[in-house]
Structure 1
C-alpha cells in the first residue's frame, strides 16, 4: 500500500537524465510493460521507457510511477535478502532522489518481478504503510548487513557499495520515504499471456481481433521508441497518442472484417415483381398484420441479402459451411425468442397476431454476424425472410397449421 501523494506540477523530462537509451533494442520486457501500463493510463498521462526508470508513468496530476522490471527465467530470485539486483535498485532510487531526478514525495517506487518470488526484507518494505513503519523496517533490514556494534558484516564486493549507500545513517530519512512509497508486484503466470489478457480486457478488444491488434500495438510501441532513440529524444509515449493509434487500427481491422454490400439495390420494378409473386415470407408477414411499408422493407432486405450472399460466396468471402452455421444460429435465436415471448404472454395477453409481430420485430432488430465477420444491417432480416419463405420458421404462433400443406387454411394477402 502506498501513501497518498500530494499533487505537484508536472515535470519536464530532460534528455540528459535518460538511462542508456541506446540499449532500448535489447529491452523487450520494457516495451511489453510500456504497453501494459498504457492500458491503465488516462488523460494527459505519459509512459516512458529507460528515461526515469525501466518504465515510468507521469500522471496527469504530476505524480510519477517509477517501475524497475526484473525478468526471471530460472530459479534465480532477484529480491532475496542478499540479491544484488534488489540493493542495486534501491540504491539507484536513492541516487535519483538525491539528484532531484525523482521527487520522493510524489513518486511511487515499484519493483515488478515476472515470477512468483519473495524475500523477507522486500516483503517487510512492501507492507510498510507509514513513515514510522518504514523507519522501523529500515532498521531491521540493516541488521542483515551490520552488527549491533555498527560493524559491517561480510558482504560480497559486487554489491557492498549499494548496501553502504542505502543503509548509511545519513540517508535513513530519504531511504525510509522510498520504502513508504514502495510496492512489490509479482506474477505466477506467463507474462506475455498476462499482458495479452490485460490488453484485450482493458482495450475492450473483440476476441477475434485480440491477437492481431496486440501484436500491432506492441510493434507500434517498439517502432515508436526506436525512432525516438534515433532522433535523440526521450522515449516517451503520450497516452492520447497511443489511444488514437489503437482506435485507428481497430477501425481499420473492423472494416476489413466487415462484409460489404456489393450488389446494386433492387429497382422499384423488381420490388413490385416480388410483391406480385405472393411469396410465402410476405404471407407470413401479412398474417401478423404488417403493413404495406413493412412489407416493402422486407422485400428489399430479402432481395439484397439474397444477391449479396451469392456474390460473397462466389468471391470466397464466406463458405457454404459458414452460411449453414449462420442459418442454424438464426433458427436457434428465433426459437429462443419465441419461447420467451410465449412465457411473457401469460401476463401480456397479446393476440396471436400481436405476439407474432412482436417476435418478428425482435428478431429483425438484433443483428447476427457470420462468425467474426460483421454483416450489413439488412442481411440478418433478409436471411430470416428466406427461412420464413421455406416455412422453417414463422412469426404467427400457429404458422405451421397455417402454412403446412393440407392444412386447408387459405391466406389472402391484404
Structure 2
C-alpha cells in the first residue's frame, strides 16, 4: 500500500471515530426528552451505547464513508462485521434481543429488496432478511466475511429471527459534517439565533473533553444523559441576550506560555514593587485568562458599541484617584523603600478588592487580568515611578 493510501486510510479511520463521538452527542441530546434516566457510552458496549444502571439497552454500530456513499448490499463488509459482533453477543446471551435494541447507523444506502432494506424502521420483513443473509452465507466466497457468516449461521433459526427483530438499520444517515448541523438544530432554542453556532462549538468542546476522560479512565465510562442536559442549561444561561459566555475561567496557561508571559511588562511592574512569586504566578494566570476570553468575545462579535474600551476606561478611572493619592504621599526625599510600600498598597487594592463587572461577567479573573493587560501597556501601574521603566512601544506589544 502506498504512502498516500495509508494516509487516506488513517484519515478515514480518524474521521470515522470522530463521527461516532459526535453522533453520540446528538443521540444524547435527542434522548433528553424521553430517556433522561439513561447514560451513553463510546467503545464500552459497542461503538455507541445507551445503558441503564450499567446494563445496555441500545447498541449502535456506526459506519461512516468518506467521499462516497457506500452501499449496504447483502455481502457488504460493513453489514457482516456488524452482524458478527451481534451474533456473538446473542450466542452467549440468548435473551439479549428482548432487552437490547441493535442499531446499525451508516452513511451508506441499503439497496431496494436487500436484507438491510428489510430491517429499516418501516416496511420490515425479518424473515426475508434472514433468508437473504443465509443465502449469502452459504454461497459467498468472501474470506473477509467468512467468520461473520459462520457466526450468524451458527445461531439457531429462532435466535437469528429474534436478533433481526431487535435490529434497526438506519441507512443514509448524516455524515460527520451534517451531524454537527443536526446538533445545532437540537440547540436552536437554547441561544439567540446568531449565537447557536457558538453554543454548539462550546457544547462539543465540553463533550469531547468528557469523552476523552471516559476513554482514558479519568472519568466515568458512561456519561449521564442528564449531564448533557445540565450542560446545555448552563450554556443557555450564558447565551441569554445580554450575557457573555465564560470559557477561560478555570483554564491554566501552558508552561511555555507562562515562561513567555513572565518576561512581559506587567510582570516587570510587579517585581518593581517586590510582589512574591505566588502572586506573580496568579497574575500571569489572570492575565492569560482575561486575554484569551476577551479575544474570543471579540472574534465572535459578542462585544458591542466599544464596550471593552469603556470597561478599560472604568478600570482606569478607578485606578487614577488611588494613584493620585499615592503621589500625594510622596516627598522629594521619599526613600525607595517607601515608594515600593506605596506601590504594594495600590496593587493590593487591585488584587484583593477591585471587582468591576463587564456586562454580566463578575468573575474576578476578568477584572484582575484586565488590570494587568493595562499595566502591560503602561496605561497604568503600581510603583509611583512605574513609567520610568516603560520601554519603547515595540517592546510593549
Report the TM-score when normalising by structure 1. 0.50
Partner SS, residue 170 of structure 2:
strand
Q: Is the 8 A contact 2:71 2:108 kept in 1?
A: no
Matched, 1:175 2:160: yes
Hey, what does 1:254 align to over in structure 2? 240
Residue 213 of structure 1: aligned partner: 199
Q: Which residue of 1 aligns with 2:119?
A: 125
Structure 2 residue 20 is matched with structure 1 residue 30: yes
Which of 74, 77, 101 does residue 81 from structure 1 map onto? 74
Indicate the SS of the match to 1:79.
Answer: coil
Quick one: which of 84, 90, 100 aligns to 1:97? Answer: 90
Is the Cα–Cα contact under 8 Å of residues 45 and 57 in structure 1 kept in the other structure?
yes
Q: CA deviation at 1:185?
A: 1.3
Q: Deviations over 1:287-306 (max 9, x none)?
A: xxxxxxxxxxxxxxxxxxxx
1:115 is displaced (CA, Å) by: 4.3
- CA separation of 1:236/1:183 partners in 2, compared to 1, >3 Å: closer, same or farther? same
Greater displacement, 92-101 / 244-253: 92-101
Contact 1:114 1:191 in 2 (8 A): no
2:228 to 242, 245, 250: 242
> 1:222 — aligned with what?
208
Cα-to-partner distance string for 1:203-227 (whole Å, 9 max, x where unaligned): 6233222111111111211111211
Report the alpha carbon displacement of residue 98 of structure 1 after superposing the two structures with TM: 2.7
Is 2:119–2:129's contact at 8 Å kept on the other side of the alignment?
Answer: yes
Structure 2 counterparts to residues 367-406 of structure 1, below 5 A = none
Aligned pairs, number: 237
1:250 is displaced (CA, Å) by 2.3
Pick from 142, 145, 148 the counterpart of residue 134 of structure 2. 142
- Which structure has the greater CA radius of gyration? 1
Cα contact 1:79–1:85 (8 A) shared by 2: yes
Following the alignment from structure 2 to structure 1, what is the Cα–Cα distance between the partners of residues 171 and 215?
A: 30
What's the offset of the Cα at 1:30? 1.5
Partner residue of 2:146? 160
Counterpart for residue 267 of structure 2: none
Match of 1:197 in 2: 182
Normalising by structure 2, report the TM-score.
0.51
Question: What are the Cα deviations for residues 84-141 of structure 1, in whole angstroms up to 9, with x where unaligned?
Answer: 12111011111123333982102111111124453612112337888xx534431343
Alpha-carbon distance between aligned partners in 2 of 1:118 and 1:98, rounded to the nearest angstrom: 28
**Corresponding residue for 2:60?**
67
Q: Work out the CA distance in 2 between the residues paired with 1:69 and 1:238.
A: 20
Provide closer, same or farther for how the CA distance between residues 49 and 154 of structure 1 changes in structure 2, counting only shifts above 3 A: closer
* Displacement of 1:179: 0.8
Structure 2 CA distance for partners of 1:24 and 1:112, relative to 1, 3 Å: same
SS across alignment from 1:155: coil
Alignment of 1:287-298 (within 5 A): none
Alignment partners' CA distance in 1, 2:199 and 2:95: 34
Structure 1 contact 69–113 (Cα < 8 Å) conserved: yes
| Residues 36/247 of structure 1: CA separation in 2 closer, same or farther (3 Å cut) | same
Aligned partners of 2:84 and 2:152 also within 8 Å: yes
Q: Which runs of 5+ in 1 are unaligned?
A: 1-22, 147-152, 259-311, 319-372, 375-414
